[in-house]
Amino acid sequence: MSALAIIRPDDWDLPLFIHVLGAFVTVGALILAATYLVPAWREGSVASLRLGYRTLLWAALPAFIVMRVGAQMIYDKWNFDEDPGWINLGYMTSDLGALLLLIATVVTGVGVRRATVPAEAGGTGEARGARVAAVLVGVLLVLYLVSIWAMTTKPD
């Protein structure tokens, strides 16, 4: 049994709360984004693409930052001689996740802009980038499922 939950010092609780709350909202925002990006991909809906972009920009990204700040706050309280495996896994999924989240947000943002610019100015009127973003969001959700497993089971 993991003893960490029972013997965790009290001053770790707030950073852990911030970290977990950020993680919860990040995953929720990604699921919400997927409900907009998948129709944008399948139906070519620019309106859905715009909603997916806004969800990534205004919900998923800020929540990710909160999650990451909380993670660093609680990591700083631990004095590991050597980082255990689950910490390294957390860093890997977090760093890769940040990159994929940024790419998905930029791709959808560019797609929305190109779709809404008038045709004579080069606008496409199409929901381009929706497939890429939807796939990236799917990959992110799998990545975070691995993170949840690592954070709860704490493998060495």
Partner 1 sequence: MYDTLLFFHVLAAFLLVAAVVMFSAYTLGAPTTRSGFTLASRLEDIGGVGVLVLGIWLALYVDGYSLGDGWIIAAIVLWLAAGASGNFYRQAMEPAMTAGGAVAQRAATLNWVRAALTVLLLADMIWKPGA
Binding site residues, partner 1, CB under 8 A: 1-2, 6, 13, 16-17, 20-21, 23-25, 27-29, 31-32, 35, 39, 47, 51, 55, 59, 145, 148-149, 151-154
Query: Which lies closer to partner 1 via its Cβ, residue 78 or residue 149?
Result: 149
User: From the CB of 27, what's the least distance to partner 1, in Å?
Assistant: 5
For residues 98 and 109, what is the distance between their CA atoms, to the nearest angstrom? 16
User: From the CB of 32, what's the least distance to partner 1, in Å?
Assistant: 5
Query: Which lies closer to partner 1 via its Cβ, residue 11 or residue 81?
Result: 11
What the block records as the tokens of 146 is 């691995």
Query: Which lies closer to partner 1 via its Cβ, residue 10 or residue 81?
Result: 10
- Own/partner long-range contacts of 106-111 (Cβ < 8 Å, ≥24 apart): 107/132, 107/133, 107/136, 108/37, 108/49, 108/52, 108/53, 108/56, 108/133, 109/53, 109/57, 111/49, 111/53
User: From the CB of 1, what's the least distance to partner 1, in Å?
Assistant: 5
Sole residue written with tokens 């973003």: 133
Query: Which lies closer to partner 1 via its Cβ, residue 31 or residue 99?
Result: 31
What the block records as the tokens of 44 is 């070519």
For residues 114 and 127, what is the distance between their CA atoms, to the nearest angstrom? 9
User: From the CB of 37, what's the least distance to partner 1, in Å?
Assistant: 12
Q: Look up residue 50 and give its amino acid.
A: R
User: From the CB of 131, what's the least distance to partner 1, in Å?
Assistant: 19
Query: Which lies closer to partner 1 via its Cβ, residue 1 or residue 119?
Result: 1
